[in-house]
Chain A
Amino acid sequence: MADTSTHVIDGVVVEEAIVFSLSGLCQAAGASPAQVLALVDEGVLQPTGDAPQQWAFAGPSLRTTRTALRLNADLALGTAGAAVVLDLLEEISALRARLRRAGLE
């Protein structure tokens, strides 16, 4: 296997430039379709499109899905539990941003 690639690879910013299909998100996040469907059911992921075959997930879905899977697997939270934790994490991160803006953290 040729391991030495000498050319430079351009990184594409997922959050800004990429939209995932259901199978694309599964592949990228290491998730099963059932796991992604459960996150959609829970309202954690909000794809556009009517049926799973047409679903389009915005770039930030990758991070959300991976975090939800880790929380679910490592802490045995279940999908609903992981959804609550994700909401709280988002709130904490907004509060931390306010502290940072104020120069307090």
Chain B
Amino acid sequence: MEFKDYYATLGVERSATQDEIKRAYRKLARKFHPDVSKEADAESRFKEVAEAHEALIDPERRAAYDEISQRHARGEAFEPPPGWDSGFEFSGRGGAGPGAQQQPSAEDFSAFFESIFGRGGPSARPAAGGHRQAPGRDHHAKVMIDLEDSYRGAHRTITLRVPVVDAQGHVALHDRQLEVNIPPGVREGQHLRLTGQGGPGHGGEPAGDLYLEITLKPHPRFRVDGRDVYVDLPVSPWEAALGASVAAATPAGDVLLTIPAGSSQGRKLRLKGRGLPGKQPGDLYAVLTLTLPRADSDAAKAAYTSLQAAFPDYHPREALEG
């Protein structure tokens, strides 16, 4: 098991006060919180920072960690002795909490953390007692789909790791597979509800629901904005000036697009209803991008020269002249 240097994670000295630890955590949490951060690895960095904070902010845990840490520094292999944590009473964090995996949650701590402090997260303690009447918890997980999946709908197999309590009250993690139909038209950040697929109910109460948060994988060609989809469409100067019929790719297949004569750079051509499907389907916008052929042959140079001759009064920088 890999030893974790919680002080290094927070960037504080081993002698740091609890206040210094709290300040360091707050600063890093603001920087890496998955809801506010755009850092590429924000989620995993935030988990590390939250775990380090959880270990060090509690004086009892910090003392236990420091002792293990000193032995580690002396070169002893890190191996928590059995029953190491029996002398400590860790209250863990109470309150409501999600239990599905793939969940950005501070309670998803590493095996290293759990080997020292036990499982701190509420997901480890399903319904105290286990037999009183309580409906099952609702769980949350994330699922990433392609833009094409959102156009056509998709079928996904999702594996969830859920804690299950046996008759003796022991907790074990079970893999559970779900076959899910993702309806067409679902958008980034929306949630799918799978009724009755959350935590089990107790005492005859119904199971909770499972919520899947949708993430759209970025597409190399299409840009998505809510229901609308944008695509750049390169055109030649004569196609833009004279008009043309060109094939344009859409996530639902190629379409024939009419470019009106006299189009200029950046003109948006709307294909109504060709965005994401739904009760109110989105639109697809083809954004014209003018490309210029290179003047790399005598014939090409002659063509540009005659173009120049045809527009003796054309001033591209007229607007700049004051």
Contacts and interface: CB of A to CB of B under 8 A. Distances in A.
Interface of A: 1, 3-16, 18, 27-28, 30-32, 59, 62-63, 66-67, 70-71, 73-76, 85, 89, 97, 100-101, 103
Contacts of B267: none
Interface of B: 26, 29-30, 33, 35-36, 46, 50, 95-98, 104, 106, 135, 137-138, 140, 155, 164, 174-183, 185-187, 189-195, 197, 200, 208-209, 211-213, 223-226, 228, 230, 232, 278-279, 285, 287
Contacts of B179: 5-9
Contact of B180 (A6, A11, A62, A66): A11
Contacts of A16: 190, 278-279
A100 to B, nearest CB: 5
Given A73-B106, A100-B223, A63 B191 contact: yes
Question: What 3 pairs across the A-B complex have the smallest Cβ distances?
Answer: A11-B192, A30-B96, A14-B191
Given A97-B226, A103-B223, A9 B197 contact: yes
B229 to A, nearest CB: 10
A52 to B, nearest CB: 18
A15 B194 CA distance: 14
B181 A11 contact: yes
A18 B278 CA distance: 16
Contacts of B181: 8-11
B284 to A, nearest CB: 12
25 contacts: A1-B174, A3-B177, A5-B177, A6-B179, A8-B155, A8-B179, A8-B181, A10-B181, A11-B186, A11-B194, A12-B194, A12-B195, A13-B185, A13-B186, A16-B279, A27-B208, A32-B95, A62-B191, A70-B33, A73-B106, A74-B106, A85-B36, A100-B223, A100-B230, A101-B230
Contacts of A73: 106
A11 B180 CA distance: 7
Contacts of B224: 100
B52 to A, nearest CB: 13
Contact of B225 (A74, A85, A101): A101
Contact of A14 (B33, B97, B193, B226): B193
Contacts of A67: 35
B211 A62 contact: yes
A75 B96 contact: no
Contacts of A103: 223, 230, 232, 287
A10 B195 CA distance: 9
Nearest to B46: A74
